[in-house]
Amino acid sequence: MVWVMRIKSINTVMTIIVFVLITLTISIAVWWVADSTYHTVFKEQKKSMENMVEQSVSALDLYMVQTGDMAKLLAKDDASRNALAHGDIAAADSLFKSLLSASQDYWAAFLFDADGKVVAGYNAKGKDMTGADRASRGYVKKILSGTDFYISDKILKSKSGGGILIFAVAHAVRDASGKIIGGVGIFPKWESYTSKFIDPFRIGKDGYCFMFDSRGTIIAHAVNKKLYLADLSKYDFTKTILSVKNGGTDYDWKGRSKYMEFRTLPLTGWVIGVSAYEDDLAAAAIHQRNVLLIAGGIAVLLFSVVMISLIRRLVVSPVSNILAFSTDIASGDLKAELQGEYRYEFKALSEQIKAMVEELKNKLGFSEGVLNGLAVPCGIVGPDGKMIWVNQQLCTLLSTDISPEAAQGLAAGEFLFGDASRETLSEKAIKERASKQAEIEYTDFNGNIKYITVSTTPFFDMDGNMLGSVSMWIDMTDIRMQALKIEDQNNRITHAASDAEEISQNLSSAAEELAAQIEQSNRGAEEQRDRVAETSTAMEEMNATVLEVASNAGTAAEDADNACSKAQNGEKIVQQVIAAVEGVRSQADDLKQSMEQLGVEASEIGNILRVITDIADQTNLLALNAAIEAARAGEAGRGFAVVADEVRKLAESTMSATSEVGGAIVKIQNMTKQNIAATEGAAQSAHRSSELANESGQTLTEIVQLVENAADQVRAIATAAEQQSATSEEINRATEDISRISLETSQVMGEAAGAIQEVATMASKLNSVIEDIQPD
């Protein structure tokens, strides 16, 4: 059937099939008739051959009986007995002479005595055979040995008869007592039988009769007389005849098949057979077969012409029109029309094909609309690694001059990367029959570097055959750049936090040092208060001990100078703390602005993700609608249902990926808000620290002023020591003032110590906030 598959025309196939079927049918019919006729004729011919052999055998049996009876009559005749018993040969001589004269079927007849000598007899030529010695002859020996009747199993050629074929028949002659005293021998001419019962018999054109003796020697042949007495025992068919005795056999003779029917005579072992060529036997059947073949050939031609004409009109022509219509549709000519008129099943077929094409056009239009409606860059790679479909968005993303139409048929690597030997992600997905997703750094055809997320999914027809892989290219360049900006902003925040940490540590150290100095000033103020109390107590003795008062006043002046010096140092330290706190507040303000800008950028990323989510939702909706329409289309829309399903899966994958990115962005936004809040708290703490430091500076300034006033008063006391006595009231009042000022100084110092402790606490909190801001 391979040659049938190679033929492209159904007309040729149908013609061949019809011709072969008709030829085969008529050939089988002719063969069956011819074979039946052949076997019938052959069987009848074999039956005729059997009858012919049976007739020949019957004739030979009768001939032998008659010959035997003749020998018996001669042997029983008184003339024969008297001649042998009494020597009266005259009657016997006359008997044998008259026999040969009356019958032409005998070559010789004679009477022999117990010694084997001829007593009376003649041959066909009239020669007197009296006195001839026949004692050595087989038939004489048989009779004299006690056999009553004997027929020779050999056909002999007469030496005196010119080659006449004869055989011997002998019968014993007995006297009155039953003793064998001689015998009668007669020699029938063999041709007397063969000319009547062998030579005339014919079967078919070349069939004939023949005879073998028991040794395989031809003793009769109806056609070829030259074969007489020829030894054919070497031939297989002769061996078969001699071994089987009776029956029939097939054999080859000079390249032609022959059939032989034969019978064996029990008395002599002779075989009578009829042989004929098989084609001669079946000549009538063969002639009938030839006539049937000619008639069958004519019938084949007539039936073939009629059937082929009908098939061309009723089948081939409609099929050709439908094929042409289908070819036009397959080549993309959806405006083609089905030509011709149709009957029977072809009418329904043409209507169904038209309906199918209309439905196909509807589904193709819908599917094409779905593909063209995709707003994201998209392409389809076939199983052979070549582009099947590309939208303009993908061409724009690649910055290529190749149009979507021109891209069809190009190798995927050549279209996407300008390298036909490069294996694309879609080709890997086709080989592995699994979806693939990867983010790549892509250099477009204008040299621009872009960050692309590629998702590709292979799709199959309803039978599981690979149709290709649809891929979507999502440009993540803006998101990646925003991420880089966020990363840079985080680095800046980390650097600012590091600086703030250093400033906070310095502020904490300065605050601790200032607290220690204030503590020392507080102890000095308390000591000054004690000294003033002692001075107040000793004022009663002031008049008597002016010098001691002057000395104590000098000591107080020195202590006041020391306190003034310490207060001035504390004022300088507080100014440094104020400057450091101002730096921290400035850094915190900058950090707050950066975090606010980071929040704005994160919000922009969220807006972009919402746009991508909307696109994925629309794509998923379009894919769902395409799947519904493809399902309505049935088998015609199976391929488009697969495409729509894969597009829906890609849209779901895009939505999932966008959701994950959105979650990450929300986390970034939340962290950014926390950082903004923490930074704002740090800024407020820094601002509060600055205010407290300013208050501490003002307090220290007042302390310095008070200490200076105290020093002036002590010096005034020292200067007016000589006037102590006269101005004791004034000294008492001054002492009370000093005591009050010392108390106030002690209180201010306590408040300053509390403020400094609060500054240290705020610096510690600021350090903790900065540690929280810094990345792990």
Q: Which of 430, 454, 475 is the last residue of a domain?
A: 475
Per-residue pLDDT tens for 215-235? 999 999 999 988 999 999 999
Return d(Cα 471, Cα 567) in angstroms, integer: 78
Residue 130 has pLDDT above 80, yes or no: yes
Q: Which residue has the higher pLDDT, 479 or 344?
A: 479
Confidence tier at 173 by pLDDT (50, 70, 90): very high
Which CATH number characterizes residue 748's domain?
1.10.287
Which helix (H) or strand (E) segment is 455 a member of? strand 449-460
Q: At what angle do helices 90-102 and 78-86 cross, to 10 degrees?
A: 140
Which helix (H) or strand (E) segment is 150 a member of? strand 149-151
Q: Which of 246, 281, 316 is the last residue of a domain?
A: 281
Give residue 124's domain range: 77-194
Rounded mean pLDDT of 556-572? 69
Confidence tier at 11 by pLDDT (50, 70, 90): low
Same-domain pairing of 699 and 617: yes
Same-domain pairing of 636 and 736: yes
Does 287 fall in a domain? no
Phi, psi of 739 (to 5 degrees): -60, -40
Residue 169 has pLDDT above 80, yes or no: yes
Does 46 fall in a domain? no
Same-domain pairing of 183 and 203: no
Per-residue pLDDT tens for 631-640? 666 666 666 6
pLDDT at 33: 73
pLDDT at 768: 72
247-261, 424-438, 442-456, 525-539: least confidently modelled range:
525-539
Q: Which of 475, 499, 526 is the last residue of a domain?
A: 475
- Among candidate residues 50, 60, 58, 49, the one with its CA nearest the CA of residue 220: 60
Contacts of 466 (CB under 8 A, 6+ apart): 383, 430, 433, 458, 460
Residue 763 has pLDDT above 60, yes or no: yes
Same-domain pairing of 510 and 623: yes
pLDDT at 296: 77
Same-domain pairing of 528 and 424: no
Does 343 fall in a domain? no
Return d(Cα 612, Cα 371) in angstroms, integer: 18
- Among candidate residues 681, 747, 700, 749, the one with its CA nearest the CA of residue 578: 700
Does 67 fall in a domain? no
Same-domain pairing of 683 and 616: yes
DSSP per-residue string spanning 160-213:
TTTS-EE--EEEEEE-TT--EEEEEEEEEBHHHHHHHHTTT-EETTTEEEEEE-
pLDDT at 293: 79
Confidence tier at 25 by pLDDT (50, 70, 90): confident
Residue 200 has pLDDT above 80, yes or no: yes
Same-domain pairing of 746 and 653: yes
Confidence tier at 261 by pLDDT (50, 70, 90): very high
Domains in the chain: how many in total?
A: 4
Does 93 fall in a domain? yes
Does 334 fall in a domain? no
Residue 160 has pLDDT above 90, yes or no: no
Same-domain pairing of 169 and 269: no
Does 514 fall in a domain? yes
Same-domain pairing of 183 and 210: no
In eight-state DSSP terms, residue 218 is E
Q: At what angle do helices 90-102 and 10-76 cross, to 10 degrees?
A: 150
Same-domain pairing of 604 and 725: yes
Does 134 fall in a domain? yes
Confidence tier at 89 by pLDDT (50, 70, 90): very high
Confidence tier at 656 by pLDDT (50, 70, 90): confident
Residue 481 has pLDDT above 90, yes or no: no
Same-domain pairing of 248 and 174: no
254-268, 423-437, 677-691: least confidently modelled range:
677-691
Look-up: residue for tokens 């303000």? 589
pLDDT at 181: 95
Which CATH number characterizes residue 417's domain?
3.30.450.20
Return d(Cα 391, Cα 378) in angstroms, integer: 6
pLDDT at 6: 63
Residue 600 has pLDDT above 80, yes or no: no
Same-domain pairing of 672 and 769: yes
